[in-house]
A and B are shown apart, each in its own frame.
Chain A
Amino acid sequence: MKCTICKKPAIIKLRHANLQLCPEHLVARVEKVVAETIRKFKMFTPEERILVAVSGGKDSLALWEVLAKLGYRADGVYLDLGIGGYSARSREYSEEFARSRGLTLHVVPVRRELGAGIDELVKIARGKPCSLCGTVKRYLLNRVALEGGYDVLATGHNLDDEAATLLGNVLRWEEGYLARQYPVLPGEGKLVRRVKPLVFLSEREIAAYCIVSGIRYIYEECPHAAGARSIVLKHVLNELEDRYPGTKLQFLRGFLKVRDRFRPPEPVELHYCPSCGMPTTSEGPCRFCRLKERVAREALRVTGNDAAA
């Protein structure tokens, strides 16, 4: 198999793009697609300060690598979620990456901010792990970006993530979510702009980019993600992709063309949490502060029980 571009031995076939690529041209393609996506959606300018949400996985580390290579001013933030050995290992990969490239990484332990890590929170709040974790991550990432004076928060959401989210929203006809699904979410007040520069790259080419570029990342899956709906949706999409190459890309690109037809049921009004001052969609304390209060109550209850015993 030869590289479509230079005819040297190819290592990967990208059927959706009708390409066979050698390591050198795979790297070039990934960086070109990211650069074009940033430009097309006017995600940020070279002068702006970018904060990359880093998890230690392939997507966020690849994104950080590409942004740094393209000359953007990108720092990273790693949230230590407190998920047993998984968090310890993913933190190690993130720190190693930053160190080896001389990049700035902010490490924020969730336990310090919330009073509990995700493992404990899941037991206390008894909610769906991915939903609880999502709330904590969205809140803390926005706050770190805001307090650090960053213009934009960049996440490693890829084509597979976006196509799976889209399929999930379409299956339930979630008009509000469909209206908001876009590679750029503009900032407003204390809500920092969020961007997804990898949305047109498949997980497979991003993983290949990491391997070829010598980026060490965490292969293992979050223990709480087992059986998550998003994984089932991705599997269904990959079955389709295998039969009809290009399905995921066509699905997402097609949606972005008609997205304007979807409107949120009601305009979302932003309020500010009386406790932490951060933006929230409902009046009263934000969801993060409510979770924090619950964790504190649980800690008091346990201490009280210990004292009684």
Chain B
Amino acid sequence: MPIIKHRDRIHEVEAGVDLERAIRELGIIPETVLPVREGKILPPDHRLEEGEEIELVDVISGG
């Protein structure tokens, strides 16, 4: 299964769906993150593949 890491959590998601849908299904607003694999940004229509690991980098800072 593809894996999406966000903060301290690791989510196993369905292979074959596109990244934007997977992010939304995790309850995350796509505007607030950037999906990165091996240092490269992935587009929202990227189809998740078996075994791949994607990190969601938070882009919102504050204080």
Q: Which residues of chain B from 3 to 42 have any CB-CB distance to chain A below 8 Å in the complex?
A: 29-32, 34, 36, 39-42
A219 contacts B43, C-beta separation under 8 Å: no
Tell whether A68 is near chain B: CB-to-CB under 8 Å.
no
Tell whether A10 is near chain B: CB-to-CB under 8 Å.
yes
Nearest to A205 among chain B residues (CB) is B59
Enumerate chain A residues within 8 angstroms of B36, measured Cβ to Cβ.
211
Chain B: minimal CB distance from A129 (Å) = 8
Enumerate chain B residues within 8 angstroms of A208, measured Cβ to Cβ.
34, 41
Nearest to B20 among chain A residues (CB) is A13
In the complex the two chains form, what is the Cα distance from A10 to B43 in whole Å? 7
Tell whether A160 is near chain B: CB-to-CB under 8 Å.
yes
Tell which of A34-42, A186-194, A238-246 binds the partner. A238-246
Enumerate chain A residues within 8 angstroms of B57, measured Cβ to Cβ.
207, 211, 219
A228 contacts B41, C-beta separation under 8 Å: no
A212 contacts B41, C-beta separation under 8 Å: yes
A11 contacts B43, C-beta separation under 8 Å: yes
Nearest to B44 among chain A residues (CB) is A13
B63 contacts A219, C-beta separation under 8 Å: no
Q: Which residues of chain A from 171 to 207 have any CB-CB distance to chain B below 8 Å in the complex?
A: 202-204, 206-207
Interchain CB contact (< 8 A) of A59 among B29, B30, B39, B61: B61
Tell whether A146 is near chain B: CB-to-CB under 8 Å.
no
Q: Which residues of chain A from 133 to 181 have any CB-CB distance to chain B below 8 Å in the complex?
A: 133, 160-161, 164
Chain B: minimal CB distance from A7 (Å) = 14
Chain B: how many interface residues by the 8 Å CB criterion?
20
Tell whether A224 is near chain B: CB-to-CB under 8 Å.
yes
Nearest to A26 among chain B residues (CB) is B41
**Chain B interface helix/strand/loop/mixed:** loop
A231 contacts B34, C-beta separation under 8 Å: no
Nearest to A211 among chain B residues (CB) is B41
In the complex the two chains form, what is the Cα distance from A20 to B20 in whole Å? 14
A12 contacts B41, C-beta separation under 8 Å: yes
A228 contacts B63, C-beta separation under 8 Å: yes
Nearest to B46 among chain A residues (CB) is A1
A11 contacts B29, C-beta separation under 8 Å: no
Chain A: minimal CB distance from B2 (Å) = 18
Residues of A whose CB lies within 8 Å of any CB of B are 1, 9-13, 20, 23, 57-59, 129-130, 133, 160-161, 164, 202-204, 206-208, 211-212, 219, 221-222, 224-225, 228, 230-231, 234-235, 238-239, 241-242
22 contacts between A and B (CB under 8 A): A1-B43, A1-B45, A11-B42, A12-B41, A12-B43, A13-B43, A58-B59, A129-B63, A160-B60, A161-B62, A164-B62, A203-B60, A204-B34, A208-B34, A211-B34, A211-B40, A221-B58, A222-B63, A224-B63, A225-B63, A228-B63, A242-B30
Interchain residue pairs A-B with the least CB separation, the first 3: A225-B63, A231-B62, A207-B59
Given contacts A9-B43, A133-B63, A164-B62, 18 further A-B contacts (CB under 8 A): A11-B42, A202-B31, A203-B60, A207-B34, A207-B57, A211-B39, A211-B57, A219-B57, A221-B62, A222-B63, A224-B63, A230-B63, A231-B62, A231-B63, A234-B62, A235-B60, A238-B29, A242-B31
